[in-house]
């Protein structure tokens, strides 16, 4: 599939989005062309594509605008859950480009350990009252729905998932707009629920099944897409760094920055790390497609490796591009800021290291 049109739109709006504007123009183009329904099944009017195509789209977008790529990443993660457990009308709306969704897992109390829900769901006749404090929701003011986690209504399981319309009385997004270090246009805000009433029928999966859906569906989708967002950011960092180094002269010496062997070595390291990341991302998708024995390990590794490598590549980009990199015209400082998010978005890199270590040592993850 050719995603150039959307990449160019994302590039056109990237600076404005970095100032905190939601990437509406690019999302509208994706919606109009049916690409917000890229992973929706054909039976509901979607494109019927899978994780590999979604990964290719977010990687291409990330080369131009990390915020736009992350909004689309979260929408696809939510869509994967809605496709498996959600109602037909919402599935059709997503496929038709009329519905944007996102994940509302992280909570003020359990922080990055998103698989533990402290918010509650209390039965009231045919309805449920949701209460809780979410610490971050991408697209918080723009999504039509949130895939929302809470404690189960009954039982001691870790969580239950609900498809909550954003415009639900009792749901309140924080007043202050998102003003973060990076991904500044992705509208990541806290939100609270105070006895927010939703029909019990908006439950996604069984009561208490949230943890299984998070680990079985959301984690693979999020890890792979996040790893591809990181790969896109790295590719952009390499391209822009090479262009700056090759095109910037020491006039007194008649040489370019790229004539310095140290600089060329840094750029080589950036290229190698980027290609290693892409290779691991590709192998993760291959493992998933073939249901290989090492699939779970690859899924865990992909986000940890990509997030870490992206941090290293953007550090090198800032170093090679020198003082000029501190200003916006070289175009690497936005990538430097955007790339930091992967390290702390759940499952965080350090949580993934713990999971991978446990998997390698033959210990249960939880």
Determine the Cα–Cα distance for residues 24 and 71; give it in Å rounded to an integer: 10
Interface with ligand FAD includes 341 (CB under 6 A)? yes
Q: Which residues neighbour 185 within 8 Å (Cβ) at sequence distance 6 or greater?
A: 16, 17, 18, 19, 20, 21, 22, 23, 65, 67, 68, 71
Cα separation, 193 vs 119, whole angstroms: 9
* Least separation in angstroms between CB 154 and ligand FAD: 24
Which residues in 223-262 contact ligand FAD (CB under 6 A)? Answer: none
Residue 340: name the closest of 113, 111, 180, 220 by CA: 180
User: Out of 1, 344, 360, 365, which residue is the one contacting ligand FAD (CB under 6 A)?
Assistant: 344
For ligand FAD, which is the closer residue by CB, 22 or 114?
Answer: 114
DSSP secondary structure code for residue 348 in this structure: P
Question: Does 150 interact with ligand FAD (rule: CB under 6 A)?
Answer: no
Token digits for 28? 């509208």
Interface with ligand FAD (CB under 6 A), residue total 25
Q: SS3 of 238, please?
A: helix
* Contact flags string 105-144 toward ligand FAD, x per CB under 6 A: xx----xxxx--------------------xxxx------
- Output b/e per residue, 22-59; b: 16+ Cβ within 10 A: bbebbbebbbeeebbbbbbeeebbbbebebebbbbbbb
User: Nearer Cβ to ligand FAD, position 106 or 274?
Assistant: 106
CB of 181 to ligand FAD, least distance (A): 8
Of positions 79, 101, 145, 188, contacts ligand FAD by CB under 6 A:
188
Identify which range of 88-96, 156-164, 295-303, 346-354 contacts ligand FAD by CB under 6 A.
346-354
Does residue 103 touch ligand FAD according to CB under 6 A? yes
Residues that bind ligand FAD (CB under 6 A): 74, 102-106, 111-114, 135-138, 180, 183, 188, 341, 344-346, 348, 350-351, 354
């Amino acid at each position: 599939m050719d995603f150039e049109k959307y990449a160019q739109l994302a590039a056109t709006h990237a600076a404005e989005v970095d100032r905190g504007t939601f990437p509406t123009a690019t999302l509208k183009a994706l919606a109009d062309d049916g690409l917000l329904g890229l992973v929706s099944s054909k039976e509901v009017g979607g494109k019927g594509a899978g994780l590999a195509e979604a990964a290719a789209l977010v990687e291409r977008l990330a080369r131009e605008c990390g915020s736009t790529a992350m909004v689309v990443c979260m929408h696809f993660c939510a869509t994967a859950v809605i496709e498996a457990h959600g109602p037909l009308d919402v599935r059709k709306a997503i496929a038709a480009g009329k519905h944007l969704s996102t994940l509302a897992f992280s909570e003020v109390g359990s922080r990055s350990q998103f698989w533990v829900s402290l918010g509650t769901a209390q039965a009231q006749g045919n309805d449920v009252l949701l209460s809780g404090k979410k610490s971050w929701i991408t697209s918080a003011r723009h999504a039509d729905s949130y895939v929302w986690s809470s404690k189960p209504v009954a039982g001691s399981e870790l969580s239950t998932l609900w498809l909550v319309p954003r415009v639900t009385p009792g749901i309140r997004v924080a007043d202050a707009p998102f003003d973060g270090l990076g991904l500044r246009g992705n509208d990541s805000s806290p939100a609270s629920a105070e006895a927010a009433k939703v029909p019990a029928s908006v439950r996604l999966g069984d009561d208490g099944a949230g943890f299984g859906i998070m680990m079985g569906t959301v984690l693979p989708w999020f890890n792979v897409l996040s790893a591809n967002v990181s790969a896109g950011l790295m590719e952009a960092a390499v391209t822009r760094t090479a262009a700056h180094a090759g095109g910037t002269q020491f006039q007194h010496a008649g040489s370019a920055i790229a004539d310095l062997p140290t600089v060329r070595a840094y750029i080589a390291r950036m290229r190698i790390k980027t290609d290693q990341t892409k290779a691991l991302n590709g192998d993760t998708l291959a493992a998933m497609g073939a249901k290989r024995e090492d699939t779970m390990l690859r899924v865990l590794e992909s986000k940890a490796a990509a997030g870490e490598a992206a941090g290293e590549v953007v550090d090198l980009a800032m170093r090679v591009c020198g003082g000029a990199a501190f200003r916006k015209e070289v175009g690497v400082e936005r990538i430097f800021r955007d790339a930091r998010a992967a390290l702390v978005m759940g499952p965080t890199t350090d949580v993934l290291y713990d999971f991978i270590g446990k998997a390698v040592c033959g210990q249960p993850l939880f």
